[in-house]
Amino acid sequence: MHIFIAGICGTFMAGIAQLAQSMGHRVSGCDTNVYPPMSDVLASAGIEVMEGYHPNHLPDDISSVIIGNALSRGNPLVEFVLANQIHYQSGPEWLKNAVLRDRKVIAVAGTHGKTTTASMIAWILDSAGLSPGFLIGGQPGNFNETARLGSGEYFVIEADEYDTAFFDKRSKFVHYLPDIAVLNNLEFDHADIFCDLAQIKTQFHHLIRIVPRNGKIIVNQDEDELNDVLSQGCWSPVSGFSTKDNGAEWYAKSGSAAAVQFDVAHNGDFHSSIQWGCIGHHNMLNALAAIASASEAGVSAEHSAEALTFFKPSARRLERMTHSGSTVLYQDFAHHPTAIKTTLEALHARYPEKRILAIVEPRSNTMQMGHHGDQLGKALGCADETWFYTPTSLDWQPERLATKNPVYVFSDAEALVNDVMGNCEADTSEEGSVIIAMSNGGFDAIPKRIADRLKNVNF
């Protein structure tokens, strides 16, 4: 069977491509603005990717076209498929029918932390010898691929609330048949498809509605919005996790602000301690969700704790890229004020003496539309200086954000890199700086440009 994937370089669709190929299907696809890491992942898998949405990309022996949610009516390939009655389906629909029906599914949902938590769960289960399948919206640090069929009964999936396709406006995660649903957090996002937080809550409640009675919902008990969703009706057992001493079934505490070491308790009994390479309170919460999920699969908290000491962050998830002298470079996928604030706070906790230099690309639809202005200004108050990269014009002006520290705006990537490097060079302090580049897109390779420049200096 020859499956053609339109929008193949999205993290989810690239995962679908890898799974279909591992099942013996011939797979090819097309996309625009191809960039790493997904372009590299597909190239290493030997999956052909063509540029643009031209109907002549479709092979003669096509069996089905899987259409990504980035494509809409008016797209030339979409119009050709409809006009010629070629079989088409969404990625989530294909995944449900081809893979998930025969598996025990652990679905990780939430505004933040899905990629990291799903990667942790997959790694814990794999280290326990359970050979899980997985589909993760990023490049996991402990695996060479973003998706794997696996031979075990469990399948771990990053469960996105974004819509499914132009012909199916439900959230992706309603297709995933979860036996275990992990709810990390819930905030307003995706302003291009949701009018308000209430609409997103409705989608999360749809997810809760399809968890079976013999399944489990694992929820961040510290999140009021999630508790509100559960109050609308819940038909499955619930396990809570928390970093507050509030009686949650799973509880973690750390003696350091950076949370490089923390202890885990289950039903009030402390019996696991973790010292690892991740930083930040948010990652401690992600780890707690992963430990609770793995416990449902029969993996002890002690084994999970040991596995997490060897956990490697996913690509672009608070990933330390390089350092030169007293200057350290990180990159992160943060594109929401809460994620940006959390990332900056984690770096301040890890490097309390260093300046924090933030580089932000307002690339998501929500950011480009100017939502979260006040929140974004407060979040960036955690940085000592901020650079915005705006290759396309915005309807708002980043330099007017209400933040206490300097903000600079550049539309040229090389000019921005020069300015950041000049700022570091002019710094005469001994402590140095942490540069953090945050975007959910290709970022015009700004992190790599800075990494290459740092190789030739010693600030």
* Planar angle of CA 49, 50, 51, nearest 5 degrees: 125
Question: If pLDDT is split at 50, 70 and 90, which confidence band does 398 have?
Answer: confident
- Is residue 117 scored above 80 in pLDDT? yes
Of 308, 333, 351, the residue at which a domain comes to its end is 308
Query: What residues make up the domain containing 435?
Result: 319-454
Domain CATH for 76: 3.40.50.720
Q: Based on the domain organization, do 263 and 128 belong to the same domain?
A: yes
Which tens digits make up the pLDDT trace of 83-101? 999 999 999 999 999 999 9
Q: In this structure, is residue 198 part of a structural domain?
A: yes
Q: In this structure, is residue 266 part of a structural domain?
A: yes
Count of domains observed in the chain: 3
Higher pLDDT, 247 or 202: 202
pTM of the entire predicted model:
0.82
Q: Based on the domain organization, do 74 and 216 belong to the same domain?
A: no
| Model pLDDT, residue 127 | 96
Q: Based on the domain organization, do 170 and 300 belong to the same domain?
A: yes
- Is residue 456 scored above 80 in pLDDT? no
Higher pLDDT, 268 or 418: 418
Q: In this structure, is residue 313 part of a structural domain?
A: no
Q: Based on the domain organization, do 256 and 349 belong to the same domain?
A: no
- 63 in Cβ contact with 3 (< 8 Å): yes
Least Cα distance to 221 among 178, 251, 199 occurs for 251
Q: Based on the domain organization, do 302 and 336 belong to the same domain?
A: no
Least Cα distance to 263 among 249, 250, 273 occurs for 273
Q: Cis omega (within 30 of 0) on the bond before 37?
A: yes
Q: Based on the domain organization, do 383 and 425 belong to the same domain?
A: yes
Residues 434-456 have a mean pLDDT of 88
Q: In this structure, is residue 459 part of a structural domain?
A: no
Q: Based on the domain organization, do 274 and 328 belong to the same domain?
A: no
Q: Based on the domain organization, do 145 and 262 belong to the same domain?
A: yes
Q: Based on the domain organization, do 206 and 347 belong to the same domain?
A: no
| Model pLDDT, residue 368 | 65
Least Cα distance to 15 among 51, 58, 47 occurs for 47
Domain CATH for 217: 3.40.1190.10
Least Cα distance to 92 among 236, 217, 213, 210 occurs for 210
Q: In this structure, is residue 83 part of a structural domain?
A: yes
| Model pLDDT, residue 35 | 67
Q: Based on the domain organization, do 173 and 218 belong to the same domain?
A: yes
Q: Based on the domain organization, do 71 and 167 belong to the same domain?
A: no
Higher pLDDT, 308 or 317: 308
Domain CATH for 376: 3.90.190.20
Q: Based on the domain organization, do 121 and 32 belong to the same domain?
A: no
Please tell me which of 22-36, 166-180, 375-389 the model is most confident about, judged by mean pLDDT: 166-180
Whole-number Å distance between alpha carbons of 229 and 18: 34
Q: In this structure, is residue 314 part of a structural domain?
A: no
- Determine what percent of the chain is predicted with pLDDT higher than 70: 96
Classify burial at 309, counting beta carbons within 10 Å of its beta carbon; exposed 0-12, middle 13-18, buried 19 or more. exposed
- Is residue 22 scored above 70 in pLDDT? yes
Helix orientation angle between 114-127 and 301-308, rounded to the nearest 10 degrees: 110
Which tens digits make up the pLDDT trace of 350-374? 898 999 999 998 877 666 665 666 7
| Model pLDDT, residue 340 | 86
| Model pLDDT, residue 414 | 95
